[in-house]
Structure 1
Amino acid sequence: MGTDKATGKDRYATATVVGTRKDAERELRRRLRTLDTGEHVDPNRITVAKWLADWLATVRGEVAPKSYERYAEVVDGYLTPALGNLPLTKLTPSNIQKAYNSWATGGRRDGKEGPLAPRTRRHIHRILNSALSRAVEQQVLARNPADVFKKRLPKVERKPMAVFTAEQSAEFLGAIKHTHTYWPVLMALATGMRRGEVLGLRWKNVDLDRASLRVVESVEQTKAGLRFKAPKNEQARAVTLPAFAVEELRRLKRQQAENLLRLGVRLTGETLVCCREDGQVLQPTSLTHQFTYLMGRSPDLPRLRFHDLRHSHATQLLVEGIHPKVVQERLGHSSIAITLDLYSHVIGTLQEDAAARLDLAFGPAIRRLSLAAQKPQ
């Protein structure tokens, strides 16, 4: 690679190729070609900051805009300040451990004292590990120095899930019925849809005669603005509506048509079910703020996030004995294992009901056999 101007010594680049000798020869020819064209970059001169920036530029076209924003926040806020100045090929597990130790005692971006949350630290690790894995794939690194931490990540303790009971759900709906937030809350409780899915639902995907709807779109809010995208897991799903939701949606559709007509707008199949008064899309953050405000005005109820309405829906179904597979399909989980894991606390309490039902089914017969066996022959 020429002569080092500082030392006068020849400079060499080495690489490990996993495969056959022909694979290695092919890689050698490629690198010599990049050297001739001036495209070659000495891996020893690439810093961690430079690689992370290049990795972000690559994944920008591979992930959703919101995911990219989260990746960039972690890279710019944590990884680059802690590890960015190190040469990429010189990055060691001990360097990474030092950074992880600092985040275990401090480093919060809100200025408060205390460690980063375990979930945040695990997220930082996932992003670093992904970026370094890409470096291994492109043979910039021979191995991934973050791999050694796979079994040493901070444990995330699952907090008790906050949900509404059926009675509390009805009470909250009654308290907010005069507000515009009533409709998205009703939809979340009746269907288990996510916030973005509720705001992305159009009338053309609601069949009130058949009491069903199809979840095909979701609203996502990024720094660049709002966009419609496919639901999580890229899968559309059908959800059957309870009778009370059908009645309320008929009322909403009439009201919405009248309100839009006053503004000179006609309600069509493309019109959003839960939207602003002028028919435009409602920002997810605005819905969250409105919901939080209304929660504060209901001090006798548990303090829930909007997403907890989805948990309330699932919990109520399981308590009523609905099969977890049906709950999975309504929620749009990619597998039933996710549903069983997420709501294991509910399913665990159903064991008592299962035991009671078994006792009703088998108990009398078993007791009769036991009494018969005790009688003298």
Structure 2
Amino acid sequence: MSKRANGEGSVYQRKDGRWVGSTYVLRPDGARRRKEVYGRTRSEVNSKLRELIASTERGIPMAGTSWSVSAYADHWLENGVRALRPSTQSNYAWVLRKYIVPTVGDVPLERLTPSHVRKLHGAVQSMGVSVRTVQLAHAVLRSMLAEAVREELISRNVGTLVRQPKLEKTEQRAWSPEDAARFGIASKPHRLHALFELAYSVGLRRGELLGLRWSDVDLDAGMIHVRQTMQRLGSAHGRVFGPPKTARSRRSVPIPARVARSLRIHRAAQVAELHGTNRSNPLDLVFTTSLGTPIEPSNLRRDFEALISSAGVPRIRFHDLRHTCASLLFAKGVPPRVVMDLLGHSTMSITTDLYAHVMPTALAEAASAMDDLLSEAADTMQEEAIDD
């Protein structure tokens, strides 16, 4: 038996000439067991052992048929998504629990096939959900399997072999200027009037509004700095404050003068509301409950729906206030690049894909400009021909 080097595990050469190595590895259930690897040379076995030892030190269990999709999903949520935002972790856990595990959770990880992925598509669709939800389930499974490939638990990611359902584009719902004005009048007595006005005037997302701090607002300069968001992630996480999702979402945006006036009125009302009580606003939030605590998204939605009814305007989602902002700006001829920066979209294609239907004026102006250009060129050519 040849002497092994430090860190190799146990390595020796059999009588038939093959090399054998063994070391302790983790099982999916967390227990340790001895595993052997084989090779034609000592260096080949040592290489395999080093990979096993490194995986064990990182807490990565060994590959094998004992890994089910459900078992690996638990491992992935515990170890593979820790670097992601809490909201993303929560969404992944919900999709796995709701759709993936009930459908393919019992399938051994290494035996997962494209037919299983298509089965998942069908199972999710049968629940009467949108195509976007089917795409989300597919994306989560694909991300999980990509990590399993990196951990060398499986040799291929079957999620990449199956096309996800195509999402049909739907026209975004938005209010007209008259609708927005009617809603603004109806919401004026409401204590969160400034929040709603900010939503359809500047296009901030709900989480950006609920996480906005007074330290991020410069009313003298007429600017708001989007540096924090707030989300409700269920009982496991509760309310979570954190930075915006992307670098483009972290932005500084100007606010209309009328919105600045509304915010000044709101700030004075907030101070008066808490004055003389034992309550405060420790998080420095612009929009709080009357107790100075963060606003629950579900309560904001109920207030919004009640104001829609009293204003007599078309019923839309709160997020559609953001679409309303973009639509109104495009109607006034604001360039797409400016709208992109205001809304915090990561790419221009997101802006143009979402709002191509509300840019007919800009398209018509482009066609008219081209017509003028070509007409002028044709006239010049005719004049030169006459002179000749």
TM bracket, shorter-chain basis? 0.7 to 0.9
TM-fit CA distance, 1:265? 5.6
Superposition pairs of residues 69-148 of structure 1, within 5 angstroms: 69-104=90-125, 106=126, 108=127, 115-148=128-161
Asked if residue 287 in structure 1 is aligned to residue 308 in structure 2, the reply is no
Give the whole-Å Cα distance in 1 for the aligned partners of 2:112 and 2:325.
47
Assess if the C-alpha contact under 8 Å between 1:257 and 1:267 holds in 2.
no
Is residue 335 from structure 1 mapped to residue 347 from structure 2 by the alignment? Answer: yes
Q: Secondary structure at the match of 1:45?
A: coil
2:254 equivalent in structure 1: 240
Which of residues 305, 312, 321 in structure 1 aligns to 2:333? Answer: 321
Q: Deviations over 1:38-65 (max 9, x none)?
A: x964512211211111111123412222
Instruction: Give the letter aligned to residue 186 of structure 1.
Output: E
Q: Do 2:38 and 2:45's aligned partners in 1 also have CA atoms closer than 8 Å?
A: no
Q: Does 1:176 align with 2:197?
A: no
Describe the superposition over 1:103-126 as per-residue Cα deviations: whole angstroms up to 9, x where unpaired. 34x2x2xxxxxx442111111111
Output the aligned Cα RMSD: 3.4
Runs of at least 5 residues in structure 2 that lack an aligned partner in the other structure:
1-21, 23-33
CA gap of 1:22–1:319, structure 2 versus 1, over 3 A, is farther
Contact 2:191 2:266 in 1 (8 A): no
1:276-315 pair list within 5 angstroms: 276-299=289-312, 301-315=313-327
Aligned partner letter, 1:98: K
Which SS does the other structure have where 2:224 is aligned? Answer: strand
Deviates more, 1:348-357 or 1:206-215: 348-357
| Identical residues among aligned pairs (%) | 30
Q: Distance in 2 between matches of 1:287 and 1:153?
A: 34
What are the superposed Cα offsets for residues 235-273 of structure 1, whole Å, 9 maximum, x if unpaired? 5211111111122222222222222214356779x6322
Structure showing the higher strand proportion among its residues = 2
Structure 2 partner of 1:217: 228
Residues 281 and 293, structure 2, Cα contact 8 Å, conserved in 1? no
Q: Which amino acid aligns with 1:182?
A: H
SS at match of 2:241: strand
Q: 1:368 to 1:298 in 2, by over 3 A?
A: same
Q: Distance in 2 between matches of 1:101 and 1:15?
A: 42
Query: How many equivalent pairs are there?
Result: 350
User: 1:214 is paired with a residue of what secondary structure?
Assistant: strand
**2:218 maps to amino acid:** D
Larger deviation, residues 238-247 vs 227-236: 227-236
Deviations 1:71-120 (A, max 9, x none): 1122122211211222212222223323333434x2x2xxxxxx442111
Letter in 1 for 2:270: Q
State the one-letter code of the partner of 1:194. Answer: R
Contact conserved, 1:181 with 1:290, CA < 8 A, in 2? no
**Mapping of residues 252-271 of structure 1, within 5 Å:** 252-263=266-277, 271=284
Q: 1:254 to 1:62 in 2, by over 3 A?
A: same
CA distance in 1, matches of 2:245, 2:38: 40
1:198 to 202, 209, 212: 209
AA partner of residue 233 (structure 1): T
Quick one: structure 1 residues 22 and 250, their matched pair in 2 at CA, closer, same or farther if it must change by over 3 Å?
Answer: farther
Deviation at residue 153 of structure 1 after TM alignment = 1.5
When the two structures are superposed, what TM-score results if normalisation uses the length of structure 1?
0.81
Name the CA distance, whole Å, in 1 between partners of 2:104 and 2:64.
16
Q: Specify whether residues 65 and 172 from structure 1 end up closer, same or farther in structure 2 by C-alpha distance, changes over 3 A only.
A: same
CA displacement at 1:188 relative to structure 2: 0.6
Counterpart of 2:84 (choices 44, 60, 63) is 63
Counterpart of 2:28 in structure 1 is none
Q: Which residue of 1 aligns with 2:18?
A: none
Give the drift of 1:26.
1.7
Shift of 1:358: 5.7
